[in-house]
């Protein structure tokens, strides 16, 4: 269990997924709109067009002595090594898949990369929640098509989200936070 | 288990030996700030954020070294117009020193290397806490987790 010098428990959550899929948008929505969470500073390492270069980071707490260190990764393919670094010590993952049909291959590549980095730990030691984002797109892929694409069975919690409006984002965050806490309690 | 005060003592030893050092931070390789000390009691920085970036930058440089096959990373030095940041490996953690621009770089490197060995030993004890955690501490952790779970449902 990761603890700081005040004995508070820290749990690391990472938003992962393809470029421009909505990871930073989802985190910014949680940061800006969810009142019940206590939040620290929002740190973003990004370029001048606001594309994430390394990670975004916000410490969050629902109160008490448990803190969630929430990170996003840079989604662009060339930032593969940065993603590997950010994943170190992850307690839980939010995979943000893009519902746009032209992002089909990018979703698969990103999920395959995640499996490669985490191996058997993914879904076993490290819980994952999947956000099917951009559900407001008129030409969005169907839920079943996306789950088939990612090779997901019935064991992974799936949330349909519209990050830009915050739809489903809080529920997805609560789900992964809950999974991670339960994992710690009953491991 | 290593007491957090042990870290404060080592970090304080470092900060006292070079007058140009402003802040010393110990982070683990997941980005968690474990301990920090400042020369001035009021030093308005977001330590959690500084720690997360320090750890990430160091680990990214390590990864770069692996890709280029140029051996183990010892220290990362970032030079700014009004200050310097040094980050060095200490076992499972990263020791980060923030200084003024004009400092004795050799002394800082020496200090980081020397204290890094001791910090690495203490970190090993601190991070290997789970198997030897006393039952009372485990109960407290469980209480904290239960309470966080309940709070989460109310968000």
A to B CB pairs, distance under 8 Å: 118
B92 interface with A at CB cutoff 8 Å: no
Q: Is B139 contained in some domain? A: no
Confidence of residue A108 (pLDDT cuts 50, 70, 90): very high
Closest residue of B to A184, CA-based? B145
Residue A134 has pLDDT above 60, yes or no: yes
**Cα gap B6→B93, rounded to integer Å:** 15
- For residue B145, give the nearest of A57, A174, A185 by CB distance: A185
Q: Is B83 contained in some domain? A: yes
The CATH number linked to B101 is 3.30.450.30
**Cα gap B140→B130, rounded to integer Å:** 13
- Per the prediction, chain A carries an average pLDDT of 94
Q: What's the gap in Å between the CA of B114 and the closest CA on chain A?
A: 22
Q: How many domains does chain B have?
A: 1
- For residue B56, give the nearest of A10, A54, A90 by CB distance: A54
Q: What are the per-10-residue average pLDDT scores of chain B (155 residues)?
A: 79 95 94 91 81 92 93 95 96 95 96 95 80 67 88 86
Q: What is the CATH number of domain A2-185?
A: 3.40.50.300
Instruction: Give the pLDDT of residue B1.
Output: 52
Instruction: Give the pLDDT of residue B2.
Output: 59
Instruction: Give the pLDDT of residue B142.
Output: 86
ipTM surpassing 0.90: no
Contact at CB, B32 and A1, closer than 8 angstroms:
no
Q: What is the pLDDT of residues B96-138, one digit of tens each?
A: 999 999 999 999 999 999 999 999 999 988 877 555 566 767 7
Owner of token pair 């980060």: B96
Residue A162 DSSP symbol: B
Evaluate whether A62 touches A167 at the Cβ level (below 8 Å): no
Owner of token pair 């096959």: B69
Half-sphere exposure of A47 (CA within 13 A, CB side): 7
- Domain range spanning residue B54? 4-130
Q: Is A139 exposed, middle or buried (0-12, 13-18, 19+ CB in 10 A)?
A: exposed
Contact at CB, B144 and A65, closer than 8 angstroms:
yes
Q: Which of B122, B115, B91, B90 is nearest to B16 (CA)?
A: B115
Evaluate whether B4 touches B34 at the Cβ level (below 8 Å): yes
Query: What is the number of residues in chain B?
Result: 155
All structural domains of chain A with their residue ranges: 2-185
Q: Is B99 contained in some domain? A: yes
Instruction: Give the pLDDT of residue A36.
Output: 85
Tell which of B139, B144, B147, B154 to mutate to test the A interface (max A CBs under 10 Å): B144
Q: Which of B31, B13, B18, B155 is nearest to B98 (CA)?
A: B18
- For residue A62, give the nearest of B31, B34, B155 by CB distance: B155
Confidence of residue A6 (pLDDT cuts 50, 70, 90): confident
Residue A187 has pLDDT above 80, yes or no: no
Instruction: Give the pLDDT of residue B137.
Output: 72
**What residues contact B6, with CB distance under 8 A and at least 6 apart?**
B122
What is the DSSP secondary-structure string of A14-79? EEE-STTSSHHHHHHHHHHH-TTSEE---EEEE-TT--EEEEEEEEEESSTTEEEEEEEE--SGGG
When pLDDT is averaged across residues A152-167 and rounded to a whole number, the result is 94
Q: What is the pLDDT of residues A40-91, one digit of tens each?
A: 999 999 988 889 999 999 999 987 899 999 999 999 999 999 999 999 999 9
Instruction: Give the pLDDT of residue B140.
Output: 77
| H or E element, residue A132 | strand A128-133
Instruction: Give the pLDDT of residue A83.
Output: 96
When pLDDT is averaged across residues A122-143 and rounded to a whole number, the result is 97
A186 interface with B at CB cutoff 8 Å: no
Contact at CB, A88 and B59, closer than 8 angstroms:
yes
**Cα gap B149→B155, rounded to integer Å:** 10
């Amino acid at each position: 269990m990761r603890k700081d010098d005040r004995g508070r428990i820290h749990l690391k959550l990472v938003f992962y997924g393809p470029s421009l899929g909505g990871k930073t948008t989802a985190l910014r929505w949680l940061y800006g709109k969810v009142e019940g969470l206590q939040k620290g500073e929002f740190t973003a390492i990004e370029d001048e067009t606001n594309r994430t270069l390394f990670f975004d980071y916000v410490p969050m707490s629902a109160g008490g002595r448990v803190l969630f260190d929430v990170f996003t990764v840079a989604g662009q393919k060339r930032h593969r090594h940065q993603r590997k670094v950010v994943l170190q010590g992850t307690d839980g993952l939010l995979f943000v898949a893009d519902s746009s049909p032209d992002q089909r291959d990018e979703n698969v590549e990103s999920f395959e990369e995640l499996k490669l980095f985490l191996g058997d730990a993914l879904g076993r030691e490290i819980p994952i929640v999947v956000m099917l984002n951009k559900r407001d797109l008129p030409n969005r892929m169907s839920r079943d098509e996306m789950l088939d694409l990612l090779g997901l069975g019935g064991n992974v919690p799936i949330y349909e989200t519209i990050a830009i409006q915050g739809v489903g984002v809080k529920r997805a965050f609560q789900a992964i936070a809950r999974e991670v806490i339960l994992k710690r309690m009953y491991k | 288990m290593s007491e957090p005060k042990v870290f404060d003592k080592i970090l304080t030893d470092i900060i006292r030996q070079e007058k140009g050092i402003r802040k010393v931070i110990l982070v683990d390789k997941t980005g968690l700030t474990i301990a920090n000390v400042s020369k001035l009691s009021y030093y308005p920085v977001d330590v959690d954020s500084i720690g997360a970036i320090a750890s990430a930058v160091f680990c990214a440089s390590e990864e770069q070294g692996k890709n280029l096959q140029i051996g183990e990373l010892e220290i990362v030095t970032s030079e700014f117009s009004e200050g310097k940041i040094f980050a060095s490996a200490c076992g499972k953690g990263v020791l980060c020193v923030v200084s003024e621009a004009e400092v004795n770089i050799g002394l800082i490197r020496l200090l980081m290397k020397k204290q890094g060995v001791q910090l690495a030993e203490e970190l090993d004890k601190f991070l290997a806490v789970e198997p030897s955690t006393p039952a009372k501490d485990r109960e407290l952790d469980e209480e904290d987790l239960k309470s966080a779970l309940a709070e989460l449902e109310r968000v």
